[in-house]
Structure 1
Amino acid sequence: MIDSGNSNAVSYARSSGGSTAAGSGDRIEWVNISLAFLPLSTPVSDAKVLTGRQKPLSEVAIIFAEIHTRDGFEGVGFSYSKRAGGRGIYAHAVEIADNLLGEDPNDIQKIYSKLLWAGASVGRSGLAVQAISSVDIALWDMKARRAGLPLAKLLGAHRDSVRCYNTSGGFLHTPLEQVIKNIAISCESGIGGIKIKVGHPDNQQDLKRLAAVRNALGDNFPLMVDANQQWDRETAIRMGRKMESFNLIWIEEPLDAYDVEGHAALASTLDTPIATGEMLTSFREHEQLILGNASDFVQPDAPRVGGITPFMQIMDLAARHGKKLAPHFAMEIHLHLAAAYPTEPWLEHFEWLNPLFDEQLELRDGRMIISARHGLGITISEQARRWTVLQQSFGKRP
């Protein structure tokens, strides 16, 4: 009797010439890691500055990864840090980057694990994974480019655009009159929601600003607030109750980022949804947040958690537990990831990173549109090159 299954396997092997995936795969031949500092036109302050815990933010450190392969494919990714840590992320990325050479760029999970173990002595969160982020994102960018697809389509998009809200116009350093003007400009540009900063040491100032913004927007326009971790549990309860009447989409980071129990208590007590997660720097930290029912909206940040690979793990866990998604910052990356989430997410709009790239994202009718460009659809600009202060290459550029 002929084993038809085995016969088919032999036949298939012969038709493929006996080659294997390992033997036919592409190979990484050149990697470039660079550090640039993006200046902000005006230093910005949130509640962490007003409470004396941080200085105003005047620049953003950007860590780029550019990867080229033997077969002529390329990918671009980036990570970032605010106030401190940029040089540390860059230094660690440079230390582990040569581990990429000779690897098949399609084996992203394998490469991620290899880079994680290369720097295992400094842990599996924080700076250690933020140094991997730009590389991991570049590999996903390359994979989508190779497939001739926008990254969202490669991942399996549920939508071709994502609801988008603006944050940059509502910082606490901005006078209220200017906040109102910024809101008008954002709405005219087609934004779908507005978020303002709260957490002022004088709680009445928060309520005054919030009332003025709600009045300017009308009763039903999507509005969020962000306390940047500056309330204690008692203040968060009191302020949360006072803010119930403003019909908010969420209250963001009312407590310390690692206070899972406190956030869970708020989420179960208040009618207004709770959002948090942007400061967490690994899948495991987000797992504690999600399994602890600590928020209604999860807010992972791909550059902070280690890249797209762990971000997708977070998305999967969040979806299985019925959480809503609102990624933090880096809309150039998060547009594609949010588009692949099963339930309707929110995307955060910051125009700060616009000078870094030749291409710009399109905002229309309250939503950010996914372009037809392949991969992330971004190219590093000449301005970003001029802001570069450090870079190191590995391997031979094809």
Structure 2
Amino acid sequence: MSIAPSESVVFKPWASAPGEATTDRIQSVRLSLVNLPLHAPISDAKVLTGRQKPLTEIAFLFAEIRTEGGHEGLGFSYSKRAGGPAIYAHAKEIAPELIGEDPSDTGRLWSKLVWAGASMGRSGVAVQGIAALDIALWDLKARRAGLPLAKLLGAHRDSVDVYNTSGGYLSMPIKEVLENVDLARARGVGGIKLKVGSPDPSVDLKRVEAVREHLGDDVPLMVDANQQWDRITATRVGRVLENFNLTWIEEPLDAYDAEGHAALAATLDTPIATGEMLTSVGEHAALIEAGSSDFVQPDAPRVGGITPFLRIAALADHKGRALAPHFVMEIHLHLSAAYPRTAWVEHFEWLEPMFNERLELKDGRMIIPNRAGLGLSLSEQAAAWTTESAVFGSGA
């Protein structure tokens, strides 16, 4: 349609009137400390070198947030061996800051919670206490939108490559490891990660050789030294491991040795993965800027939740790194699906008893569930394992 020069035209800022924006307010926050027992003690290289005791249970902090409009969100953080009660105690002190707030303001609320406990710093216990609350806010936002969290964030894929770790610990004899490999593969897992870092590297090499022979050449295989090599050992063992076509070597050095990891990444053809132990955006930024790894491995509960995780992912993407988040597949499936580059998710079946839902595996990949938010609800077993709880706001 043409408009005559003499006609006056009124331009409107939108084609049709927008609907009224929906806001809501946080009515209550429930926190729970839950101790998850493992079926049997497990050991990695940190145990064999005498730095830690075998892992027998994991402490979880759950946060359940409810709004005046009846919307709910579920989030969690965790700690292994020590720290669970500390995370719970810190979360109890800062959780009241959320009452009356708009749950959509995830970035502002994360900053508010950090400042509420400013003297505790911006890493470690302080942010791990915040993480459960932040993840619950993101879950609530996605549930209210009626979308899986991955879709709310902007998914790049509907499924993610998945590898199993829980079947390859050093406390397991190689026969049991090979049986676990078959079970994981039959369940639909794509890759296998094997723990290494024994005091005698020849033991590690024999185990890697056995698993690679059992899998064949084409199945993705990773190894994880859990920070127990020095630079010389990591270089020498890494050169031998080149023969096994590994997808990556994980945590060959101390988690904070950015320079050493960068040198190793430049020396070896096998990709380097690290980052799971870091607890802040700044720490991850230092490793990313130094070129310390090919696979970045942030852990959302450890770095303070989804809000800081997304900042780390943006830095990693900018530098062209692949992503392989640590543990808690129930959260990291969504975050890996929303990452634009190569991404993996780590399979641990340990947390399954705490939820009523299960994640689907097919052809080596984990499927984004067709449920809103994280797609999780707490089971009766989680309630039975709860040792402490507290409620803030209405219903307290």
Structure 1 length-normalised TM: 0.95
- RMSD (CA atoms): 1.7
Among 351, 354, 357, the alignment partner of 1:356 is 354
Residue type of the alignment partner of 2:89: A
Question: Are residues 240 and 69 of structure 1, via their aligned partners in 2, closer, same or farther at CA, if it must alter by over 3 Å?
Answer: same
**Structure 1 residues 169-208: Cα deviation after superposition (integer angstroms, max 9, x where no partner):** 0000000111011111111111100000000001110001
1:90 is matched with 88
CA distance in 2, matches of 1:94, 1:79: 13
Among 57, 67, 72, the alignment partner of 1:74 is 72
CA distance in 2, matches of 1:138, 1:397: 18
Among 333, 336, 339, the alignment partner of 1:335 is 333
1:136 is matched with 134
1:303 is matched with 301
2:114 is matched with 116
**Structure 1 residues 234-271: Cα deviation after superposition (integer angstroms, max 9, x where no partner):** 00000000100000000000000000000000000000
1:44 is matched with 42
1:57 is matched with 55
1:33–1:391 CA contact under 8 A, matched in 2: yes
1:368 aligns with 2:331: no
Identity of aligned residues (%): 66
**Structure 1 residues 101-123: Cα deviation after superposition (integer angstroms, max 9, x where no partner):** 00000011111000000001010
Residue type of the alignment partner of 1:245: N
Residue type of the alignment partner of 1:269: T
2:325 partner SS: coil
CA distance in 1, matches of 2:316, 2:27: 36
2:5 is matched with none
**Structure 1 residues 117-171: Cα deviation after superposition (integer angstroms, max 9, x where no partner):** 0001010001100000000000000000000000000000000000000000000
| 1:36, distance to aligned residue in structure 2 (A) | 0.4
Among 207, 230, 233, the alignment partner of 1:232 is 230
| 1:4, distance to aligned residue in structure 2 (A) | 6.2
2:387 is matched with 389
1:267 partner SS: helix
1:280 is matched with 278
**Structure 1 residues 315-337: Cα deviation after superposition (integer angstroms, max 9, x where no partner):** 11101100000000000000000
1:192–1:366 CA contact under 8 A, matched in 2: yes
| 1:371, distance to aligned residue in structure 2 (A) | 1.3
CA distance in 1, matches of 2:9, 2:140: 41
CA distance in 2, matches of 1:8, 1:59: 58
CA distance in 2, matches of 1:8, 1:184: 61
1:287 partner SS: helix
Residue type of the alignment partner of 1:298: V
Runs of 4+ in structure 1 displaced over 4 angstroms?
Answer: 2-5
Structure 2 length-normalised TM: 0.96
**Structure 1 residues 25-59: Cα deviation after superposition (integer angstroms, max 9, x where no partner):** 20000000110000000010000000000000000
Extract unaligned runs of 5+ from structure 1.
none
CA distance in 2, matches of 1:185, 1:227: 23
Question: Are residues 16 and 126 of structure 1, via their aligned partners in 2, closer, same or farther at CA, if it must alter by over 3 Å?
Answer: same
| 1:3, distance to aligned residue in structure 2 (A) | 12
Question: Are residues 210 and 108 of structure 1, via their aligned partners in 2, closer, same or farther at CA, if it must alter by over 3 Å?
Answer: same
CA distance in 2, matches of 1:268, 1:16: 54
Among 138, 142, 145, the alignment partner of 2:143 is 145
Count of aligned residue pairs for this structure pair? 389
Residue type of the alignment partner of 2:197: G
Question: Are residues 16 and 198 of structure 1, via their aligned partners in 2, closer, same or farther at CA, if it must alter by over 3 Å?
Answer: closer
Residue type of the alignment partner of 1:278: E
Extract unaligned runs of 5+ from structure 2.
1-7
Among 189, 203, 208, the alignment partner of 2:206 is 208
1:68–1:397 CA contact under 8 A, matched in 2: no
CA distance in 2, matches of 1:140, 1:329: 19
CA distance in 2, matches of 1:370, 1:212: 33
